Amino acid sequence: MELDIIELSRKNRLMQAYTHDPHFFHSFFDYEVTTAGYEKRAEELAMRIFQREEVSSVIERYMQPFGISELAAQHIKELSSDALVVIGGQQAGVLTGPLYSVHKAISVILLARQQRDLLGKPVVPVFWIAGEDHDINEINHTYTAEHGKAMKRQYKQPIVLKTMASDAVYDQKEMAAYIRQIFKSYGETPYTQKLLRGVLQSAEEQQTYTGFFTSLINQLFAKHGLLLIDAAYKPLRQLESAYFSQMIENAPTMALSIYTTEQQLHSMGYNKPIESEEQDANLFYVHDTGRVLLKRSGGKFVNEQSGLSFTEQEMHKIAVEQPWLLSNNVATRPIMQDLVFPVLAFVGGPGEIAYWSLLRQAFHIMGIKMPVIVPRLSITLMTRQAQEAMKRTELTINQVFAHRVPEFQEKWLNEQRDEMFTQMLTETKKQLEAQYAKIQRHLESTDPAMLPLLEKNLQFHTSQFDYLKKKKEQSTLLKNHVQNTRYNTLNEQLFPNGSLQERLYSPYFFINQFGEDFIDELLKQPYSFDGSHQLVYL
């Protein structure tokens, strides 16, 4: 493997400001992504009190059914003592979800290693699984590469209620059939059967989306000591009881601070990351009908659609006696993470960093500061097939990432077309239509009843011209299929459907090609945590 870096033209203005505008950064975040920033954050954490033994026990209990490696066990022990945490997370997608889920895990592991060396103290990697999220349609699919496009492959199982991913049960036989279909599209390699057996075993042993996700991520990263925790895990919820009470007590001031900050961002010309409102509660309640968002109205916490209404006292009682009935939204989840874990750094994508930009004052209201916020690694995997295709099509990597491959492919196809044939076909068609026009004029005065038959006959001949044109195009493509396949390869692999590769494909597409050590090799690369896009040549 070799590593290169490319600067992408950013459409996300907020991320551009985050990485290049010091005034913007210091207006919305607490610690710089510098050696001094990490050191100051570590000093702050040393002054705070955490439920270390309880948190470590919860993680150990959660991970036990999936297997705990020797290094993971060491990290759990360190966390119970004095270790700091680098944390990141993601929804529980099918087949781990898109590649960027794996890129986040890689980012968390490598940044924790880096800071362990630089700070001279234990720093452990934690992956926070957002099992509380209930939009199953966001996680029940993956993409496969076919005919120059990325094709969405959805696991179709109807879910009526807003069930959390940690509670949403899939049909194991249907899931197995779905997985086989995906692997079939990948093609057979020396690694396929063993890899497929392992994935199918996980699908069979688990029942929920979150369980399946956890099992796969643990298999991929166990030897690297990645700690896993599900946000919806009941013992964790019990541990969060007092923190929920704090959030309930401070809900009005937190909501106002988030709303005010978002309006400030908007006035500066940025998009609104979460469309917050002053009456937000920023908490969900797990109801019989599913997970529902609460608002504040008339001094109460309500969800009008479900007919729910709680006084603040009743909310505190729920937090104490049944904390598993509460869950965080995008605004309070980061704060909950920071209260539970001694978070040195949070690793997030552009969307996550956008909504974190709203939370500085909310953190302060809760008596804490934001951790160091680090952009996750953004990676494109360059197969030799893709590298060869770029060489043979003479396209640059910048042209590929500017989504210009379809343009160049269409231009090339036009150059391959037999213009003389097309011209002759067009002239013949015009001549035929002219002759039929003469016949039509004749029949209009002599035998009008024949006109429908004449029209049908003309349509038949016209369709034959279209058929001939189509066959000629197919013949041209067949003669030039090797070069056309190269363009399709670039379309499929590097910037599919106009999106970064990491946003669509599962890592299993690549593990199937390169073997089970593929993730280990990715972890050996000298990446830069500077927000740039990294190219890994395989």
Tokens of 460: 């038949």
Query: For residue 372, what are the β-bridge partners?
Result: 345
What band does 160 get if pLDDT is binned at 50, 70 and 90? low
H-only helix segments in 357-418: 360-365, 384-393, 397-401, 405-416
Angstrom distance (rounded) from CA 263 to CA 258: 9
Q: What kind and span of H or E run contains 144?
A: strand 141-146
Highest mean pLDDT among 40-44, 88-92, 289-293: 40-44
Enclosing H/E stretch for 513:
helix 508-514
Confirm whether 199 is domain-assigned: no
Q: What is the mean pLDDT of residues 281-295?
A: 91
Domain contains 349: no
Q: Does a structural domain hold residue 408?
A: yes
Three-state secondary structure call for residue 366: coil
pLDDT in tens, 262-276: 999 999 999 999 999
* Cβ 98 vs Cβ 505: under 8 Å: yes
| 59's tokens | 């993680």
DSSP state of 394: T
User: Is 392 within the bounds of a domain?
Assistant: no
- DSSP letter at 505? B
Per-residue pLDDT of 35-54, as tens digits, reads: 999 999 999 999 999 999 99
The answer to whether residue 468 scores a pLDDT higher than 80 is yes
Query: CB within 8 A of 295, min separation 6: which ones?
Result: 277, 279, 280, 281, 301, 302, 303, 304
Q: Is the distance from CB of 91 to CB of 137 less than 8 angstroms?
A: no
Rounded distance, CA 129 to CA 118, Å? 27
Q: Which two tokens stand for residue 45?
A: 């954490």
Is the distance from CB of 42 to CB of 371 less than 8 angstroms? no
Residues 284, 295: Cα–Cα separation, whole Å: 9
pLDDT at residue 11 above 70?
A: no
| Number of folded domains that form the chain | 1
3-class secondary structure, 380: strand
- Sort strands 533-537 and 280-287 into parallel, antiparallel or unpaired: unpaired
Does 449 fall in a domain? yes
Q: Which of 467, 475, 499 is nearest to 417 (CA)?
A: 475
Nearest CA to 40 out of 373, 356, 336, 372 is that of 372
Residue 507 phi, psi (nearest 5): -60, -20
The CA distance from 381 to 401, in Å, is 13
CA end-to-end distance (rounded Å), the chain: 5
Question: What number of CA atoms fall less than 13 Å from residue 393's CA on the CB side?
Answer: 33
Instruction: State the pLDDT confidence band at 298, using cuts at 50, 70 and 90.
Output: very high
489 domain residue, yes or no? yes
Q: What is the pLDDT of residue 300?
A: 96
Q: Where are the beta strands (DSSP E) in 182-289?
A: 227-230, 280-287
User: Which DSSP category does 208 fall into?
Assistant: B
Q: Quick check: is 396 in a domain?
A: no
d(CA 478, CA 287): 58
Question: Is 476 contained in some domain?
Answer: yes
Per-residue tokens: 306:
């479900």
Average pLDDT, the chain: 93
pLDDT at 102 over 80: yes
Q: What is the rounded CA–CA span in Å between residue 404 and residue 495?
A: 10
- Taking only the tens place, the pLDDT of each residue in 179-207 is 999 999 999 999 999 999 999 999 999 99
Contact 372, 112 (CB under 8 A): no
Q: Which residues pair with 152 in a beta bridge?
A: 143
Residue 458: domain span: 404-494
pLDDT at residue 226 tops 90: yes
Tell me: pLDDT of 415 over 80: yes
pLDDT at 274: 94
Residue among 262, 252, 259, 307 at smallest CA distance from 283: 252
The sign of the dihedral angle between the CA atoms of 242, 245, 247, 249 is negative
Instruction: Give the mean pLDDT of 242-256.
Output: 97
Nearest residue to 356 via CA among 33, 11, 7 = 33
DSSP string, 53-121: HHHHHHHHHHHGGG---HHHHHHHHHHHHT-EEEEEEE---GGGSSHHHHHHHHHHHHHHHHHHHHHTS
476-526 pLDDT, tens per residue?
777 788 898 999 999 999 999 989 999 999 999 999 999 989 999 999 999
